[in-house]
Amino acid sequence: MHIVKTIIKSLDYISGGKKTLAFFHKMAEAGVP
């Protein structure tokens, strides 16, 4: 799923990335690989 990750990273740069990073931190804390 490298394409999806690339798209997410691109959206991160466009939006400043803060919302997406917060989302991934929550996922990581929940134990999602």
| Amino acid of residue 31 | G
Buried b (16+ CB within 10 A) or exposed e, 17-32: eeeeeeeeeeeeeeee
Mean pLDDT value across residues 2-26 = 77
33 inside domain: no
Helix/strand/coil for 17: coil
Mean pLDDT value across residues 9-33 = 75
C-alpha 33/C-alpha 14 separation (Å) is 25
Query: What percent helix, strand, coil does the chain show, rounded to 5?
Result: 80, 0, 20
Instruction: Return mean pLDDT, the chain.
Output: 76
User: Domain tally for the chain?
Assistant: 1
What percentage of the chain exceeds 70 in pLDDT? 76
Record the pTM.
0.35
- pLDDT, residue 16, reads 65
Domain containing residue 20: 1-28
C-alpha 10/C-alpha 31 separation (Å) is 25
